[in-house]
Amino acid sequence: MRLQLALKDALVGAVVAALLFVPLVALRTDVGSTGALTLRYRWTDAAILIGLVFIGRLALVLWMGRDGLRPSTSAGPWTLRLQRLGKLAAPAFLAVALVLPAIPGIDRYWLDLGILVLTYVMLGWGLNIVVGLAGLLDLGYVAFYAVGAYSYALLAQYFGLSFWVCLPLAGVLAAFWGILLGFPVLRLRGDYLAIVTLAFGEIIRVVLLNWVSLTGGPNGISGIPRPSFFGLPFSMAGGEGTFAGFFGLEPSSTHRVIFLYYLILALALLTNWVTIRLRRQPLGRAWEALREDEIACRALGINVTVTKLTAFALGAMFGGFAGAFFATRQAFISPESFTFIESAIILAIVVLGGLGSQIGVAIAALALIGGTEIFRDLQEWRMLVFGGAMVVIMVLRPRGLVGTRTPSIALGKRRAIDGKLVGEGHG
Amino acid sequence: MAYALQQLINGISLGMIYGLIAVGYTMVYGIIGMINFAHGDVFMIGAFLSLIAVLLLSMGGVMGGPAGIILVLLLSVVITGVYGWAIERIAYRPLRGSFRLAPLISAIGLSIVLQNFVQVSQGARVKPMETLVPGGIEVMREEGFVVQFAYTQMMIIGVTLAVLAVFTILVTRTPLGRAMRACEQDRKMASLLGIDTDKTISLTFVIGAALASVAGTMYLLRYGVIDFYIGFLAGVKAFTAAVLGGIGSLPGAVLGGLLIGLIETFWSAYFSVQYKDVAAFSILVLTLIFLPTGLLGRQEVEKV
Amino acid sequence: MSRPILEVQGLTMRFGGLTAVSGVSFAARSGEITALIGPNGAGKTTLFNCVTGFYRPSEGIIRLHKPGEPPTELQRLAGHRIARAGVARTFQNIRLFPGMTALENLLIAQHNRLMASTGWGIGAVLGLSGYPRAERQAVELAKRWLTATDLMDRADDPAGALPYGQQRRLEIARAMCTEPALLCLDEPAAGLNPRESDELARLLLDIRAEGTSILLIEHDMGVVMRISDRVVVLDHGVLIADGTPAEVRRNAKVIAAYLGEDEEEVAAADDRRAMPQASAAGLNRSGSNP
Do A355 and A386 lie in a common domain?
yes
Do A235 and A370 lie in a common domain?
yes
Residue C263's pLDDT is what? 41
Q: Which of A10-24, A83-97, B94-108 shows the lowest per-residue confidence on average (mean pLDDT)?
A: A83-97
**Closest-CA distance of chain B to residue A400, Å:** 9
Interatomic CA distance for residues B68 and A100, integer angstroms: 63
**Closest-CA distance of chain A to residue C219, Å:** 23
Residue A39's pLDDT is what? 83
pLDDT at C196 over 80: yes
Residue B271's pLDDT is what? 84
Residue A172's pLDDT is what? 95
CB contact under 8 A, B304 and C15: no
pLDDT tens figures, A107-121: 888 888 899 999 999
Is A55 among the domain residues?
Answer: yes
Residue A129 C-alpha from the chain's centroid: 13
Is A405 among the domain residues?
Answer: no
Q: Which of B165, B196, B201 is nearest to B184 (CA)?
A: B201
For residue A423, the chain C residues in CB contact (below 8 A) are 97-99
Is A70 among the domain residues?
Answer: no
**Host domain of residue A56:** 2-64
Is A401 among the domain residues?
Answer: no
C209's CB contacts (< 8 A; 6+ apart) are none
Do A27 and A91 lie in a common domain?
no
Do A19 and A163 lie in a common domain?
no
Residue of A nearest to C117 (CA): A282
CB under 8 A, 24+ apart: contacts of B196-204: B198/B93, B200/B31, B200/B176, B201/B31, B201/B32, B201/B88, B201/B92, B201/B93, B202/B85, B202/B88, B202/B89, B202/B93, B203/B176, B204/B27, B204/B28, B204/B31, B204/B180
Q: How many domains does chain A have?
A: 2
Residue B303's pLDDT is what? 55
Interatomic CA distance for residues C116 and A283, integer angstroms: 10
3-state DSSP percent of chain C in helix, strand and coil, to 5: 45, 20, 35
Taking one residue from A and the other from C, the number of pairs with CB-CB distance under 8 angstroms is 140
- Mean pLDDT, all residues of chain C: 83
Residue B219's pLDDT is what? 94
CB contact under 8 A, B112 and A206: no
Residue C281's pLDDT is what? 36
Do A121 and A194 lie in a common domain?
yes
Q: Is C234 helix (H, G, I), strand (E, B) or coil?
A: strand
**Closest-CA distance of chain A to residue C202, Å:** 24
Q: Return the higher-pLDDT residue of A409 and B304.
A: A409
pLDDT tens figures, A49-60: 999 999 988 888
Residue C288's pLDDT is what? 39
Residue A307's pLDDT is what? 92
- For chain A, the residue count is 427
Residue C269's pLDDT is what? 38
CB contact under 8 A, B304 and C91: yes
Do A355 and A384 lie in a common domain?
yes
pLDDT at C184 over 80: yes
Residue C290's pLDDT is what? 36
For residue A137, the chain B residues in CB contact (below 8 A) are 101, 104
* Residues of chain B with confidence (pLDDT) below 70: 64, 298-304
Residue A116's pLDDT is what? 92
Q: Which of A215, A229, A236, A226 is nearest to A331 (CA)?
A: A226
Residue of C nearest to A424 (CA): C99
Q: Is C23 helix (H, G, I), strand (E, B) or coil?
A: strand
pLDDT at A370 over 50: yes
Residue A271 C-alpha from the chain's centroid: 14
Do A191 and A240 lie in a common domain?
yes
Q: In the structure, what pLDDT confidence band is assigned to residue A78 with cuts at 50, 70 and 90?
A: low
Do A169 and A235 lie in a common domain?
yes
Boundary-marking domain end, from A64, A89, A114:
A64
Residue B293's pLDDT is what? 78
Interatomic CA distance for residues C245 and C221, integer angstroms: 10
Which positions 159-198 of B are in contact with A (Cβ < 8 Å)?
none
Domain segments of chain C: what residues? 1-86+182-290, 98-179
Is A121 among the domain residues?
Answer: yes
For residue C45, the chain B residues in CB contact (below 8 A) are 304
Chains in touch with A (3+ beta-carbon pairs under 8 Å) read B, C
Is A415 among the domain residues?
Answer: no
Residue C12's pLDDT is what? 92
pLDDT tens figures, A275-319: 998 888 889 999 999 999 989 999 999 999 999 999 999 999 999
CB contact under 8 A, B304 and C49: yes
Is A237 among the domain residues?
Answer: yes
Do A192 and A227 lie in a common domain?
yes
For residue A352, the chain B residues in CB contact (below 8 A) are 105
Say whether residue B55 is in contact with chain A using an 8 A CB cutoff.
yes
Q: In the structure, what pLDDT confidence band is assigned to residue A82 with cuts at 50, 70 and 90?
A: low
φ/ψ bin of B125: left (φ > 0), alpha (ψ from -120 to 50), beta (otherwise): beta
Residue C101's pLDDT is what? 92
For residue A28, the chain B residues in CB contact (below 8 A) are 121-123
Q: Which of A135-144, A253-262, B94-103, C78-87 shows the lowest per-residue confidence on average (mean pLDDT)?
A: B94-103
Interatomic CA distance for residues A151 and A172, integer angstroms: 10
Architecture of domain C1-86+182-290 in this structure? 3-Layer(aba) Sandwich (3.40)
Burial class (CB in 10 A: 0-12, 13-18, 19+), C172: buried
Q: CATH number, domain at A90? A: 1.10.3470
Interatomic CA distance for residues C99 and A317, integer angstroms: 28
Is A290 among the domain residues?
Answer: yes
Do A232 and A342 lie in a common domain?
yes
pLDDT tens figures, C44-95: 889 989 999 888 899 999 999 988 888 888 888 888 888 888 999 999 889 9
Residue C131's pLDDT is what? 79
Residue of C nearest to A311 (CA): C121
**What average pLDDT does the segment A134-148 reach?**
92
For residue C110, the chain A residues in CB contact (below 8 A) are 282
Complex ipTM, two decimals? 0.86
Q: In the structure, what pLDDT confidence band is assigned to residue A399 with cuts at 50, 70 and 90?
A: confident
Q: In the structure, what pLDDT confidence band is assigned to residue A67 with cuts at 50, 70 and 90?
A: low
The residues facing A229 across adjacent strands are A232
Do A169 and A40 lie in a common domain?
no
